[in-house]
Chain A
Amino acid sequence: MRGFARRERERGDMNPPSNLLDEALGLGHGGAIAALPAGRVVLVEDCVETSGAFVLHHLLKRALSAGEGGGDVLFLALAQPFSHYDRVLRKLGCSLSVQRNNNKLHFFDMLKLEFPGLTGGNDIESGFVGLYSKIQRAIEARRSKEYSRGCITIMIDDLSLLEIAACGSIDCVLDFLYYCISLTAELDCSLVILNHEDIYSSEEAPRFLSHLEYLADIVIKTEPLSTGLSADVHGQLTIFNKGTSSRHGHSMNKIHNFHFKVKENGVEYFYPGSQY
């Protein structure tokens, strides 16, 4: 017991203090790094001007180094090759190659993913079924190991590319997501999705986005500053945290809003006007 406490303290010393983003996600308590609570669905929305990829990198690092020996991550990469994530995460102090060799990170390289044929709906559907069963198998393999009790996080970067791979059949993508979400509920995983908000801002396809926002427990939006580009403030984050019950018992449905500046080795979060 004492050994555990010491380990906790050491880890607390090693890790940087929790930041505004972690607090808003409800991760920042006690100094020790915690992964996202199981069963959570997090949706990151960004736009052309301000990429939200850094939130994903942060959550990826967080998930891999959380808890006892870290959790597992299944990363569905459609946007970038492995080398990109490896370099970015290395600067954040987390080696993806090592994590992959240790079987902590299951990297699905789907940069070139195309569902066979692309002619009828059936091919796309069966493609998604295949993808889902791969994920399911990977998770069950991890759950069966006795030593791994950490949280499993599924990450999708990014959903709009999955839509393109599915040739725009939104129903297939939504079905796939429903399956993934039911998986998170059954097997104690959490799901992190990156998507682009501005694609759906026109009147044509708002249904998909509102579906996603309904499914998500936490929505993180990255936007540029309304006053234009700045070298000191890269944009603002808005976080809608739906009904987390805090440790005091009352549920909080809170909106957090703050600015950020992305650096190579981390991101600075601060309230508007509190920097410099």
Chain B
Amino acid sequence: MATAKDPNPRPVRTSSSFSRNPSSPSAAPASPPVPGVKPGPSGAAFVSSGIPDLDKILGGGFLLGSVVMVMEDADAPHHLLLLRNFMSQGIVHRQPLLFASPAEDPRAFLGTLPSPVSSSKEERQRAPGLDPDAKDKEKGLRIAWQYKKYFGERQVPELHNRGIEQDFSNDFDLRKPLERQMFRTQQIDCVSIQDTANLAVLHEHCSTFLSDLTRNEGCNVNAGRIAIQSLCAPQCGYSELDWDMVSFIRSLRAMIRCSNAVAVITFPTSVLSPSFSKRWQHLADTLLSVRAMPDEDKELAKLLTGYQDMVGLLHVHKVSQINTQVPVILEATTFSLKLQKRRSLILERLNQAPVDASSGTSYATSGSCSGSSKGSPLDF
């Protein structure tokens, strides 16, 4: 696989024993790690997106100091799934949170946040099916059984790493709301951006929020999260002021870059003109889009396995490149959003259903070059 040849692989996605371990003793900072923050490549650090699968896809999570943008589906609220899990994860880690929304009472949204699944048994149950990496790792070790003694030292940090990872991201039960008392103990700032004539208020909130989170070498500050829902929604008073909005995002990005925080901004692309939509996309460090599944799409249902369980599709357009010039190339960029047991959110790569022999579009069915008597157009 090409990823294995890459000189600087993102640590989470590779299972090769030659990969650089980001949390190996030499690389780990001397000061105790902040809960919910994981060291990443090139001096960057990750916080969890609240969806363990998304963390895995992005190579560890959202990078501190980056702006994540989610392009909304025009007709469905799927972006709220991402936003809720992102906010819940922050509250579970006791990280300060700033939430801005075009709703009248943004604080009401906090009542819909999901609560973490308590038992780790659930995680174990779904791990084997979901995580091919883990299986690979085991297989790799079995093949190299005779070298096992050499792995002795390496396994210690790995186990240690796994312990961190469990704290790093939780599974959330979408049916169970987060306990109220969680909100009282920590810093949560809610701003309504409905009917505000300009972005000065939000800008003010962001800069005071981020002033406590300035990054400085040596001492670890807690990581902060900013969640902004539908920044360019038409009910905001400034939604006509295209240049003000991009200039707000630009200055937010500049502030985020030098602080220990992540901002997630969702926006409906259909409201923006194509050229401004591109500008927004360029301002994003990590760019995702969500799309609802069409309800009764017979064609699609035939094409994809597990169509019934899918609630939507998530597309990864861009992964942040902080402190590096190498783009992250994912093996797949479109994933299906599924609700497992109607409660926890998982992401899976799309699986194409086996195609009927009659259609003959699959290479697998017409794999033989000449032996096939069906005479499908792909034979030669």
Chain A residues close to B by CB (< 8 Å): 48-51, 53-54, 57, 80-81, 83-84, 87-88, 91, 111-112, 114, 118, 160-161, 164-165, 167-168, 196, 198-202, 204-205, 229-232, 234, 262-265
Contact = CB atoms under 8 A, between A and B. Distances in A.
B329 A265 contact: no
Given A88-B324, A111-B257, A264-B7, A165 B250 contact: yes
A208 to B, nearest CB: 10
Contacts of A53: 321, 325
Interface of B: 1-3, 6-8, 42-43, 242-244, 246-247, 250-251, 254-255, 257-258, 273-275, 278-279, 281-282, 287, 317-318, 321-327, 329-331, 333
Nearest to B281: A48
A262 B243 contact: no
A84 B326 contact: no
A229 B329 contact: yes
Given A49-B317, A87-B323, A88-B325, A202 B257 contact: no
A262 B317 contact: no
B318 A48 contact: yes
Nearest to B322: A84
Given A168-B243, A202-B273, A264-B326, A111 B254 contact: yes
Nearest to B6: A231
Given A112-B254, A229-B333, A264-B8, A164 B246 contact: yes
B268 to A, nearest CB: 17
A48 B287 contact: yes
Contacts of A80: 257
Given A118-B247, A202-B278, 12 more contacts: A50-B327, A53-B325, A111-B254, A112-B255, A161-B250, A199-B282, A200-B275, A231-B3, A231-B329, A234-B327, A264-B326, A265-B7
B254 A167 contact: no
Q: Which of B43, B244, B247, B333 has the most CB of A within 10 A?
A: B247
Nearest to B274: A202
A203 B282 CA distance: 18
Given A112-B251, A229-B333, A264-B324, A87 B43 contact: yes
Q: A-side binding surface: helix, strand, loop or mixed?
A: loop
B250 A167 contact: no
A167 B279 CA distance: 13
B4 to A, nearest CB: 10
Contacts of B251: 112, 114
B274 A164 contact: no
A251 B323 CA distance: 40
Contacts of B287: 48
Q: Which of B43, B326, B333 has the most CB of A within 10 A?
A: B326
A198 B282 CA distance: 10
A19 to B, nearest CB: 15
B326 A262 contact: yes
Contact of B2 (A49, A118, A232): A232
A49 B329 CA distance: 11
A231 B2 contact: yes
Given A111-B257, A264-B324, A229 B279 contact: no
A266 to B, nearest CB: 10
Contacts of B42: 87
Contact of B325 (A57, A83, A198, A232): A57
A263 B246 CA distance: 31
Q: Which of B1, B255, B327 has the most CB of A within 10 A?
A: B327
B323 A88 contact: yes
A112 B251 CA distance: 6
A83 B43 CA distance: 10
Given A51-B321, A81-B257, A204 B275 contact: yes
Contacts of A265: 7
A205 to B, nearest CB: 6
Contacts of B327: 50-51, 234, 262
Contacts of A234: 327, 329
A80 B254 CA distance: 8
23 contacts: A48-B287, A50-B327, A53-B321, A54-B325, A81-B257, A83-B323, A88-B325, A112-B251, A160-B282, A164-B243, A164-B250, A164-B279, A165-B250, A167-B244, A200-B275, A202-B278, A204-B274, A205-B275, A229-B333, A231-B331, A262-B325, A263-B7, A265-B7
A107 to B, nearest CB: 15
Contacts of A200: 275
Contacts of B321: 51, 53
Nearest to B244: A167
A176 to B, nearest CB: 17
A164 B326 contact: no
**6 closest Cβ contacts across the A-B interface?**
A231-B2, A202-B274, A87-B323, A111-B254, A168-B243, A112-B254
Nearest to A196: B282
A232 B5 CA distance: 10
Contacts of B326: 262-264
A51 B327 CA distance: 8
Contact of B278 (A81, A199, A262): A199
